[in-house]
Amino acid sequence: MTATVSQPLRVVGAAGQRGPLLKIDDVSLEYRTPERVVRATHRVSFDVHAGDRFVLLGPSGCGKSTLLKAVAGFVPPIEGEIRLDGERVRAPGPDRIVVFQEFDQLPPWKTVKQNVMFPLMQARGLRRAEAADVALHYLDKVGLANFADAYPHTLSGGMKQRVAIARALALRPKVLLMDEPFAALDALTRRRMQEELLALWQDAAFTLLFVTHSIEEALVVGNRILLLSPHPGRVRAELNSHQFDLHSQGSAAFQQTAQRIHRLLFDTPAPDPAADTDIADAADIPPRTARAR
Amino acid sequence: MTTIATTTTQSLPPLRPEYERELEPFTATAVARALPLRQRLWQNSGLRRAVILLVLAALWETVARLQNNDLLLPSFLATAQAFIEGLTTGELLNKAAISLTILLQGYAAGIALAFVLTTLAVSTTIGRDLLDTLTAMFNPLPAIALLPLALLWFGLGSGSLIFVLIHSVLWPLALNTYAGFRGVPETLRMTGRNYGLRGLRYVLLILVPAALPAIVSGLKIGWAFAWRTLIAAELVFGASSGKGGLGWYIFQNRNELYTDRVFAGLAMVILIGLLVEGLVFRTLEAATVRRWGMQR
């Protein structure tokens, strides 16, 4: 890494000396529609270190979600390689758990507790009693211990996302992947979820790869932001944002960085500094293309 | 706040005072109250069904009395009497047991084969083509049309009956199950693969529960088809090895012009159908797809 980090983040384990945990090296991705093959990203490289809250930010069509799915192992790169802990990513696996945006990621036939226990037993080989203990511990952390025996269809959207987060954390993946996890939530719930995610990170110090299209969310959630340009996705910049949190949103530095990101992404100044910094609303961008599955 | 330029000719809404209210605990009336007894009773689907059955029975009785010909249409009460008689002598139960034993064997074998076929279909392309081709070929073929062949191959016994039963269950169930598998949301599939599940575990732990509404409806269709096939087979070819089931009972009594017993045999088929629907499938649905919120 050539970029200098002004304030060293806390180093988790010995990973700080070992170099990056996740290495994305010149990765190009393509997806197929019935008519054509579309290039989603072109030779994207970046490194994620242990304990990072690494954000992929860009407008629709920059391939950030496809990139996340490639890290998860769902989409094979057509060139370049993705290495996690030195090992090449080839298939989906429980060391890279994804929290999706969609609410239907929780199997509806399992209660909240069973939903967290299921991968623990299947992927980690825990016995039922152990899995139940771990599940309750993490459900307690996301404030859902009282809903352990409820079925997902009885929960609100925010609660479902909390279960998905608890399930992901309980598995202790090497890297937690989040694909616009709060995009389908209302603004108030979204803010609270961001707050809770940061609290959980303070608590458990996991490594996070987070995809969003909101500049504000990127600045709040991330400590480092990769900016991607659309059609196809290419790296535009990599910035630090560890100095910002939920309380610095109104500050001058926060607004300045937000405008800088806006300029980097669209090569035009933000129309109104006070306006919502949601990229999808703030700029004239082509309609959302079909997402790679 | 309200420094709006007053040069506009447009009239502005008047500035109204703000206000706050202290709310006392709500005591004016009960927040929730029970529904009237009649509405609560009417919400019981068992009761509603019982009413429908009673009306149908009354209608039957009236028509039969007007017709006044026991050979053509015995009355509801006469049928009920023949039915109870059949039960007390044990003949009807005996025949039903024979039919059910063969039916369940064929049904279970059909389910097992359908599962193998659909698992192949979701895991390989050639499996999918195989399923598509086979269902397109055999699903329209009436099971009863295969019975002569089956009798040739497996002889006059339960073997040939089970063969046609499998044929009648396998294709509709495989079609439904496969449609259910294909309808599983992509996010759910990715979640399962994310856990590292694959092969049989992926099918059993993710696809089967996620597709259960479609599978249950396939099981119901298969059950109905199996009954039709069995009764028809027994009617057409009579008893296999001298031990006939319900179809044979109906056929025999028709030959001897005991029309009330024919109706009693039919009633037994209907009753078993209602029981299985009401007890087995309803319980299965209540314990699974309804509880999980996948079906209302």
Chain B closest-CA separation from residue A55 CA (Å): 21
**B153 or A18, which is more confident:** B153
Give the pLDDT confidence score for residue B151 in this predicted structure.
Answer: 86
> Residue with structure tokens 């969310």?
A217
DSSP state of B281: I
- Cα A63 to its chain centre, rounded Å, is 13
How far is residue B184's CA from residue B179's CA, in Å, rounded to a whole number? Answer: 9
**A11 or B269, which is more confident:** B269
Give the pLDDT confidence score for residue B22 in this predicted structure.
Answer: 81
The proportion of chain A whose per-residue pLDDT surpasses 70, expressed as a percent, equals: 85
A156 interface with B at CB cutoff 8 Å: no
Q: Hey, are the CB atoms on A122 and B195 less than 8 Å from each other? A: yes
Give the pLDDT confidence score for residue A13 in this predicted structure.
Answer: 45
Q: Which two tokens stand for residue B244?
A: 């006939």
For residue B218, name the pLDDT band (cuts at 50, 70, 90).
very high
Task: Show Cβ contacts of residue B134 under 8 Å, excluding neighbours closer than 6 positions.
Answer: B117, B171
Give the pLDDT confidence score for residue A7 in this predicted structure.
Answer: 42
SS (H, E, C) B205-256: HHHHHHCHHHHHHHHHHHHHHHHHHHHHHHHHHCCCCCCCCHHHHHHHHHHC
Chain B closest-CA separation from residue A106 CA (Å): 7
Chosen from B182, B186, B190, B194 to mutate, greatest number of chain A CBs within 10 A: B194
β-bridge pairing A22-32 and A175-179: unpaired
Q: Hey, are the CB atoms on B195 and A118 less than 8 Å from each other? A: yes
B residues 253-292 near A, CB within 8 Å? 288, 291-292
Q: Is B53:B274 a contact under the CB 8 Å cutoff?
A: no
Q: Residue A186 above 50 pLDDT?
A: yes
Chain B closest-CA separation from residue A176 CA (Å): 12
- Our CA angle for B13, B14, B17, nearest 5°, is 130
Q: Hey, are the CB atoms on B196 and A123 less than 8 Å from each other? A: yes
Q: Residue A131 above 70 pLDDT?
A: yes
Averaged pLDDT, A248-274: 79
Q: How does pLDDT run across A211-234, given as a tens digit for each residue?
A: 999 999 999 999 999 999 888 888
Q: Hey, are the CB atoms on A109 and B212 less than 8 Å from each other? A: yes
Give the pLDDT confidence score for residue B25 in this predicted structure.
Answer: 82
- Our CA angle for A87, A126, A114, nearest 5°, is 105
What CATH fold (topology level) applies to the domain A18-95+175-282? Rossmann fold (3.40.50)
Give the pLDDT confidence score for residue B240 in this predicted structure.
Answer: 54
Over its C-alpha atoms, chain B yields an Rg (Å, rounded) of 30
A205 interface with B at CB cutoff 8 Å: no
How far is residue A29's CA from residue A66's CA, in Å, rounded to a whole number? Answer: 7
Q: Hey, are the CB atoms on A109 and B206 less than 8 Å from each other? A: no
Structural domains in chain B, CATH included, are 70-287 (1.10.3720.10)
Chain A closest-CA separation from residue B204 CA (Å): 12
Count of beta carbons in the 10 Å neighbourhood of residue B200: 10
Which residue of chain B is at minimal alpha-carbon distance from A150? B292
For residue A185, name the pLDDT band (cuts at 50, 70, 90).
confident
For residue A278, name the pLDDT band (cuts at 50, 70, 90).
low
User: Smallest Cβ distance to A102: which of B187, B292, B293?
Assistant: B187
How far is residue A23's CA from residue A48's CA, in Å, rounded to a whole number? Answer: 7
SS (H, E, C) chain A: CCCCCCCCCCCCCCHHHHCCCEEEEEEEEEEECCCCEEEEEEEEEEEECCCCEEEEECCCCCCHHHHHHHHHCCCCCCEEEEEECCEECCCCCCCEEEECCCHHHCCCCCCHHHHHHHHHHHHCCCCHHHHHHHHHHHHHHCCCHHHCCCCHHHCCHHHHHHHHHHHHHHCCCCEEEEECCCCCCCHHHHHHHHHHHHHHHHHHCCCEEEEECEHHHHHHHCCEEEEEECCCEEEEEEEECCCCCHHHCCCHHHHHHHHHHHHHHHCCCCCCCCCCCEHHHHCCCCCCCCCCC
Q: Quick check: helix, strand or coil at residue B180?
A: helix
How far is residue A139's CA from residue A107's CA, in Å, rounded to a whole number? Answer: 16
Give the pLDDT confidence score for residue B257 in this predicted structure.
Answer: 87
- Cα B10 to its chain centre, rounded Å, is 67
Give the pLDDT confidence score for residue B15 in this predicted structure.
Answer: 82
Averaged pLDDT, A56-68: 89
Q: Is B202:B123 a contact under the CB 8 Å cutoff?
A: no
Ordered by start, the domain boundaries in chain A are: 18-95+175-282, 106-172
Q: How does pLDDT run across B1-14, given as a tens digit for each residue?
A: 444 555 555 678 88
Q: Residue A279 above 60 pLDDT?
A: no
Q: Residue B236 above 80 pLDDT?
A: no
- Helix B259-275 and helix B91-123, axial crossing angle in degrees, nearest 10: 40
Chain A closest-CA separation from residue B287 CA (Å): 10
Mean pLDDT (chain A) is 84
Closest CA to A65 of A185, A176, A194, A212: A212
Give the pLDDT confidence score for residue A275 in this predicted structure.
Answer: 46
Give the pLDDT confidence score for residue B117 in this predicted structure.
Answer: 94
User: What type of residue is B152?
Assistant: L
Averaged pLDDT, A265-281: 58
Give contacts of B195 with chain A, Cβ < 8 Å. 94, 118-119, 122-123
Chosen from A109, A112, A163, A176 to mutate, greatest number of chain B CBs within 10 A: A109
Closest CA to A146 of A194, A119, A112: A112
Mean pLDDT (chain B) is 87
Q: Residue A281 above 70 pLDDT?
A: no
Q: Residue B234 above 80 pLDDT?
A: yes
Count of beta carbons in the 10 Å neighbourhood of residue A31: 18
Q: Residue A67 above 70 pLDDT?
A: yes
A125 interface with B at CB cutoff 8 Å: no
Taking the model in full, what pTM does it have? 0.77
Give the pLDDT confidence score for residue B63 in this predicted structure.
Answer: 93
Q: How does pLDDT run across B106-154, given as a tens digit for each residue?
A: 999 999 999 999 999 988 899 999 999 999 999 999 888 888 888 889 8
Q: Which of A70-74, A288-292, B162-166, B245-249 has the lowest mean pLDDT?
A: A288-292
Q: What is the ipTM of this complex?
A: 0.76
Closest CA to B219 of B138, B164, B296, B277: B277
